């Protein structure tokens, strides 16, 4: 998938196994599965930089880079 | 926030083949990410860490990570680790085992490591099945669940790993899941810093050998099951016994201070040497 | 040579003392007759010299712990007998495969299974060679006296370090429990692990060096991060299934021993120069055999003794040479003929065995019976 420069989400599809965990775990529904099954950031502007996709990717194929305009949110669980 | 992917590049061995060997959606990759974040947090250098693993899917972790790594025989990882710790107490030793590895073939070593309270960190990746060998039932496969050697459903009562190690005297016991990946790295860094024998049970989905056979759905469904059935330990204690169902406690379950094996051994040295010290 | 004063020791004690003299600083073991005195002695002595004694939960973990300790740079040992030796086979194979120096003492008792815990035997000769699965190298030493329990244990550690291999001290229950007045040598040779010759980034723990030179095993924690596995591995230590690399890995294991037989194999001969009959015996049975040689010589029979001190690799070439001179071999053993089989393999000459499995030592008279029966 094409990625814009200001997109906070970087997907390294070479390592991605298309398990879909990142898409499901995103609290803001930012990611979607493309036609090829690889995830892409469909709504990058909605990203709150919680990093849940990053820490739940079993293949280290997705990184969320901080965009200076958006405040980083630490996500608390349970 | 420690970013996993970026941190991983620091700790993965670049000459190994990636993507790694684990099946799509397998939780072991998430657990390995949490382990690396935990180590990054503790601040130990790569040279100060020894990663000992057993045999099975989780045993492959030692191949990928750039520490002093030892891939032992099936179930025996804790005994090798014990020898390393006694020979060089300065080293921080993390022992990665699977559920079959740690509680079936290595069950004896697990309970005695707890009893001895040797200063090691045991990370038990519990996916309720023997994945590598093709989905045979393990000591943590739930009753009536199917496995390649339990086609009619398992008739054996499963172990609760955390209860087991608690009863055996471990100093630190915690449980987390791949859904609670962030809690997992927090538990692990606490466990690594803890003096004495510490155990972290990481519940991890095996979507292929366990999930498919038992109609558990996708890797995501399996992680959501962890989300739905996990309860923080204080809240879990308040659930009336009859209403527990499939729920299980997560978080720190045991955290006690007690002298570890080497501390006790130093007393023996004093006695043996008498006035010479 | 300057000598210590006389000491009254038993074999197990002498073995433990030898280990301490060799620099062994970690012992992990599990109680079992007739080897337990080694653990008992070391539980008292190791803490005094900055070493660690640990009684593990079984023999499997004992073997695991000594491998771990060796990887962390400390010379280590375990001791066991019969059933415990069987349990150690899995991790013994790991030590062979991963090339981890360590010493395993097996004080042989009557088998199979629980057998006769309090009676000696020599039933584990073949198990010490082939007990663990797959092709693997091993060095096995067999002492015949209390003094040798001491000196050969030191030698075992030296061989282990030199060849990065597990070494088995195969004592029989008689040697282990025998008391003798001994003078321990004051000067002993101790080989320690060599320093690495290359910086960390260049280090390949399983490299094939020219001339068969053995790569020093750098202890964990010294900046040389590498991987150790029981899987077939490449020169860097990582698992491989590439045909050439698999072959290289296994060849190297075998040839590091095979190419150094002259250094590893020790034998002792007694009155063999003009012998017509050669007795081949090891351990306590060699003592009976020596007495049989004396009796036979008194009767005018030309009998000599070959005692393999190194049992494995088996001194095949020595036997082949001797077989050119002698007319027959007599092989007394406390089993049904395990060394006997090796003698048959080594030389086409006539060979007879003297076997005993009732938990008693083969006597000189039994050996003489065979010699006289075979009267030439």
User: Residue C8 pLDDT > 90, yes or no?
Assistant: yes
Question: Residue for token digits 């739940």?
Answer: A56
Among B215-219, C207-211, C237-241, C283-287, whose mean pLDDT is lowest? C207-211
Q: Decide if C65 touches B, using CB distance below 8 A.
A: yes
Cβ of residue A54 closer than 8 Å to a chain B Cβ: yes
Low-confidence ranges of chain A (pLDDT < 70): 1-6, 67-78
Q: How far is Cα C357 from Cα B42, in angstroms, rounded to an integer?
A: 59
Measure CB to CB from residue C61 to each of B63, B79, B269 and give the nearest one: B79
Tens-binned pLDDT, residue by residue, of chain B (277 aa): 677 888 999 999 988 889 999 999 999 999 999 999 999 999 999 999 999 999 999 999 999 999 999 999 999 999 999 999 999 999 999 999 999 999 999 999 999 999 999 999 999 999 999 999 999 999 999 999 999 999 999 999 999 999 999 999 999 999 999 999 999 999 999 999 999 999 999 999 999 999 999 999 999 999 999 999 999 999 999 999 899 999 999 999 999 999 999 999 999 999 999 866 5
Angstrom distance (rounded) from CA C107 to CA C310: 16
* Mutation choice for B interface testing from C28, C54, C100, C220 by most B CBs within 10 A: C220
What is the rounded distance in angstroms from the CA atom of residue C307 to the CA atom of residue C289?
Answer: 9
Rounded CA-CA distance C161/B243 in Å is 60
Rounded to a whole number of angstroms, the distance between the first and last alpha carbons of chain B is 48
pLDDT reading at C311 higher than 60 = yes
pLDDT tens digit string along C85-113? 999 999 999 999 999 999 999 999 999 99
**pLDDT tens per residue across span C54-86:** 999 999 999 999 999 999 999 999 999 999 999
- What count of CB pairs under 8 Å joins B to C? 143
> Any chain C CB within 8 A of the CB of B267?
no
Q: Return d(Cα C16, Cα C148) in angstroms, integer.
A: 12
Q: What percent of chain C has pLDDT over 90?
A: 95
Q: Is C227 within 8 Å of B62 when comparing Cβ atoms?
A: yes
First to last CA, chain C: 43
Q: Is C90 on the interface with B (CB under 8 A)?
A: yes
Q: What is the CATH T-level fold of the domain C268-373, as seen in this structure?
A: Rossmann fold (3.40.50)
Choose the closest CB to B180 out of A15, A54, A78.
Answer: A78
Task: List the alpha helices (DSSP H) in B121-232.
Answer: 161-167, 181-193, 219-229
Q: Indicate which of B22, B29, B188, B236 best probes the interface with A, i.e. most A CBs within 10 Å of its own CB.
A: B29
Q: Tell me the shortest Cα–Cα distance from B134 to chain C, in angstroms.
A: 19
**Contact across the interface for C68 and B66, Cβ inside 8 Å:** no
Neighbours of A60 (CB within 10 A): 27
3-class state of residue C157 by DSSP: helix
B19/A64 touch (CB, cutoff 8 Å), yes or no: no
Residue among C103, C164, C108 at smallest CA distance from C137: C164
Please give the CATH superfamily to which domain C3-185 belongs.
Thiamin diphosphate (ThDP)-binding fold, Pyr/PP domains (3.40.50.970)
Residue of B nearest to A14 (CA): B19
Is some CB atom of chain B closer than 8 A to the CB atom of C94? yes
Cβ pair B180:A77 closer than 8 A: yes
B47 to C225: CB separation less than 8 angstroms, yes or no: yes
pLDDT at C340: 97
CB contacts, 8 Å: C68 with chain B = 52, 70, 79-87
Calpha distance C220→C69 (Å, rounded) = 10
What are the C-alpha distances in Å from C45 to residues B62, C20, C48, C49?
A: 36, 9, 5, 7
Q: State ipTM.
A: 0.97
The whole-number pLDDT of residue B2 equals: 72
Side-chain half-sphere CA neighbours of C341 within 13 A: 6
Number of domains in chain B: 1
Residue A62: which of B5, B185, B223 has the nearest Cβ?
Answer: B5
Cβ–Cβ contact B68 with C under 8 A: yes
Same fold, C3-185 and C268-373: yes
3-state secondary structure of C171: strand
A51: contact with B, CB 8 A cutoff: yes
Q: Is pLDDT above 60 for C376?
A: no
**H/E run at residue A23:** helix A21-25
pLDDT score for C348: 74
Looking at domain A9-64, which CATH architecture does it have? Answer: 2-Layer Sandwich (3.30)
CATH of the domain at B199: 3.40.50.970
- What pLDDT, on a 0 to 100 scale, did the predictor assign at position B236? 97
Question: Model confidence over B173-207: pLDDT tens digits?
Answer: 999 999 999 999 999 999 999 999 999 999 999 99
H or E segment to which residue C51 belongs = none
Confidence of residue C168 (pLDDT cuts 50, 70, 90): very high
Shortest CA distance to B199 belongs to which of B176, B221, B219? Answer: B176
- Shortest CB distance from C66 goes to which of B47, B83, B269? B83
Q: Do the strands B121-126 and B92-98 form a parallel or antiparallel pair, or are they unpaired?
A: parallel
- Domain extents in chain A: 9-64
Which subunits have 3 or more CB–CB pairs within 8 Å of chain B? A, C
- At C229 the pLDDT is 98
Nearest to B67 by CA among C217, C73, C225: C225
Measured from the Cβ of residue C112, the count of other Cβ atoms closer than 10 Å reads 10
Write down the pLDDT at residue C10: 97
* Beta-carbon separation of A59 and B20 below 8 A: yes
Q: Do chains C and B touch (3 or more CB pairs under 8 A)?
A: yes
Which one of B5, B187, B212, B220 makes the best mutation probe of the A interface by having the most chain A beta carbons within 10 Å?
B5
Instruction: Give the minimum alpha-carbon distance from B26 to chain A in angstroms, rounded to a whole number.
Output: 7
Do B and A make contact via 3 or more CB pairs under 8 A? The reply is yes
């Amino acid at each position: 998938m094409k990625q814009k420069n200001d997109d906070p989400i970087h997907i390294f599809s070479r390592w991605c196994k298309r398990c879909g965990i990142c898409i499901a775990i995103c609290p803001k529904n930012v990611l979607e599965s493309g036609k090829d099954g690889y995830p892409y950031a469909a709504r990058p502007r909605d990203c709150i930089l919680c990093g849940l996709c990053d820490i739940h990717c079993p293949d280290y194929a997705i990184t969320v880079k901080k965009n200076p305009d958006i405040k980083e949110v630490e996500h608390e669980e349970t | 926030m420690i970013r996993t992917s970026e941190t991983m590049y620091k700790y993965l061995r670049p000459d190994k083949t990636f993507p790694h060997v684990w099946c799509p959606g397998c939780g072991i990759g998430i657990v390995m990410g949490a382990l690396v974040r935990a180590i990054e947090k503790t601040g130990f250098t790569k040279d100060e860490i020894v990663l000992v693993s057993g045999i099975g899917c989780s045993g492959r972790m030692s191949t990928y990570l750039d520490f002093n790594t030892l891939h032992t025989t099936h179930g025996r990882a804790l005994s090798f680790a014990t020898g390393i710790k006694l020979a060089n107490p300065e080293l921080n030793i993390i022992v990665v085992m699977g559920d079959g590895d740690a509680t079936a073939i290595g069950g004896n070593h697990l309970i005695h490591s707890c009893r001895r309270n040797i200063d090691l960190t045991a990370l038990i990746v519990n996916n309720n099945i023997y994945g590598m060998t093709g989905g045979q039932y393990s000591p943590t496969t739930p009753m009536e669940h199917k496995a390649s050697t339990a086609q009619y459903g398992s008739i054996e009562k499963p172990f609760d790993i955390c209860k087991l190690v608690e009863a055996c005297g471990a100093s630190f016991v915690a449980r987390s899941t791949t859904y609670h990946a962030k809690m997992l790295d927090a538990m692990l860094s606490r466990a690594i810093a803890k003096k004495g024998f510490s155990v972290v049970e990481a519940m991890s989905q095996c979507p292929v050998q366990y999930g498919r056979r038992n109609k558990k759905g996708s890797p995501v469904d399996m992680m959501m099951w962890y989300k739905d059935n996990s309860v923080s330990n204080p809240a879990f204690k308040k659930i009336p016994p009859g209403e527990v169902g499939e729920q299980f406690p997560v978080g720190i379950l045991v955290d006690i201070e007690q002298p570890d094996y080497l501390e006790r051994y130093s007393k023996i040295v004093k006695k043996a040497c008498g006035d010479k010290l | 040579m300057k000598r210590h004063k006389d000491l009254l020791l038993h074999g197990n004690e002498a073995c433990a003392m030898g280990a301490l003299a060799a620099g062994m600083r970690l012992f992990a073991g599990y109680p079992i007759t007739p080897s337990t005195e080694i653990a008992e002695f070391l539980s008292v002595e190791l803490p005094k010299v900055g070493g660690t004694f640990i009684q593990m939960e079984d023999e499997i973990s004992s073997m695991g712990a000594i491998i771990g300790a060796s990887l962390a740079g400390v010379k280590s040992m375990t001791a066991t007998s019969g059933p415990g030796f069987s349990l150690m086979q899995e991790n013994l194979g790991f030590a062979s495969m991963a090339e981890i120096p360590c010493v395993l003492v097996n004080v042989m008792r009557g088998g199979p299974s629980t057998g006769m815990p309090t009676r000696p035997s020599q039933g584990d000769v073949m198990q010490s060679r082939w007990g663990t699965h797959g092709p693997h190298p091993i060095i096995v030493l067999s002492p015949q006296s209390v003094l040798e329990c001491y000196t050969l244990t030191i030698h075992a550690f030296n061989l282990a370090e030199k060849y990065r291999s597990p070494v088995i001290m195969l004592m029989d229950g008689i040697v282990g429990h025998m008391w003798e007045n001994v003078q321990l040598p004051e000067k002993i040779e101790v080989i320690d692990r060599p320093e690495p010759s290359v910086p960390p980034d260049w280090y390949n723990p399983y490299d094939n060096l020219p001339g068969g030179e053995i790569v020093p095993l750098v202890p964990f924690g010294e900046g040389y991060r590498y991987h150790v596995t029981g899987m077939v591995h490449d020169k860097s230590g990582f698992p491989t299934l590439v045909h050439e690399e698999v072959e290289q890995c296994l060849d190297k294991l075998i040839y590091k021993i095979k190419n150094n037989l002259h250094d590893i194999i020790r034998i002792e001969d007694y009155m063999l120069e003009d012998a017509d009959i050669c007795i081949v015996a090891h351990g306590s049975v060699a003592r009976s055999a020596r007495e049989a040689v004396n009796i036979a010589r008194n009767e005018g029979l030309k009998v000599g003794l070959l005692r393999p001190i190194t049992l494995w690799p088996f001194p095949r070439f020595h036997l082949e040479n001797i077989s050119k001179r002698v007319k027959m071999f007599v092989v007394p053993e406390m089993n049904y003929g395990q060394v006997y089989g090796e003698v048959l393999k080594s030389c086409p000459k006539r060979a007879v065995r003297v076997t005993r499995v009732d938990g008693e030592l083969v006597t000189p008279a039994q050996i003489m019976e065979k010699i006289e029966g075979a009267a030439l």
